[in-house]
Amino acid sequence: MQLGIDIGGTSVKAAGVENGRCLWTGQSGFYAKPTTDELRAAIRTAAGGRAAGVQAIGLCVPGLLDANERKITEAFNVAGLVGIPLDRLVPESLNLPTGKAARICNDAQAAAFDVFQSRRIRGRLLVLTLGTGIGIAVLDDGRPLCVEGESPGHIGQIDVSIAGHDAVGPDGGAGGLEGYLGVAALRANYGPDVSPAVAKFTGDEPPMLALVRTIRIAHAIYRPDHVCLCGGIGIRLKHLIPTLRDKIQTRLTSLARSGWTLTTGDDDFHAARGAARMVTSTLSVEC
């Protein structure tokens, strides 16, 4: 069995995959800026005692990764990750042999790989993970397009300023997408329980207008055949897909590919499943 662990800004998600089939998924309780010990406990809860027989580990982590040291150097929302040996985190949490090195990736890349494999997508797939932070992955028939590290860029920090609704991203950038659509921004503007607020969105709210502008920009830069919204916020925008697509399509650049699609993910476990699938994939998932 391959084990996928997705360490997010508010919880840990896990998935067990064998022979390409997902056997189970699990999630920890919610946390805020957890310590390392709290992360280990969350990993145990998410795995739920189902880690016996693990052959390989895929690990999604947020923050800035030092690929040579295999450590996180900065993670604002998950401070317990900073400076610890990532290859030992999951084995030590689950009492597994410590020789099992993890395949370390970001959540957008892992989620995109799961969407690509589960839906048998062909062509260029662009996945936006909308959650505590905002990430992007672009796959060409399953192979990643990389501009910065293992990502095609830092889309959460692009300036998508909406007139009359100023916002500042967590990095201090004016008009940053995360300043409109990150969970912290949504809570500040719509209350602590984000899901009911998002369910009432009509498509004309500043966060949705910022998302529309982002995808319009992405069509000019990446020219995707398919766009999929994942993450805790992304999958909850399914009711707005027709509205968002109409807004994106209106006078869209002629560089956009004809017949492009816009969908949402299926659930909260794409990144965990994708991390597990990437471990043994015969595709080149490295940049």
Indicate which CATH number applies to the domain containing 33: 3.30.420.40
Query: Rounded to the nearest 5 degrees, what angle is found at the Cα of 144, between the Cα atoms of 141 and 147?
Result: 140
Please give the model's pTM, rounded to 2 decimal places. Answer: 0.90
Residue 161 in domain: yes
Read off the tokens for 248: 């994106």
38 and 165 co-located in one domain: no
Residue 115 in domain: no
**How many angstroms separate the CA atoms of 254 and 224, rounded?**
13
Strands (E), the chain: 2-7, 12-18, 21-27, 56-60, 64-66, 71-74, 102-105, 124-130, 134-140, 143-144, 226-230, 261-264
Read off the tokens for 163: 């007139």
Residue 278 in domain: no
**How many angstroms separate the CA atoms of 264 and 27, rounded?**
20
pLDDT digit string (tens) for the chain, length 287 residues: 999 999 998 899 999 999 889 999 999 999 988 999 999 999 999 999 998 889 999 999 988 888 888 989 888 778 899 999 999 999 999 998 876 678 898 889 999 999 999 999 999 999 999 988 899 999 999 899 988 777 788 888 999 999 999 999 888 899 999 999 999 999 999 999 999 999 999 999 999 999 999 999 999 999 999 999 999 999 999 999 999 999 999 999 999 999 999 999 999 999 999 999 988 875 545 55
Residue 67 in domain: yes
69 and 15 co-located in one domain: yes
Is residue 75 within 8 Å of 82, Cβ to Cβ?
A: yes
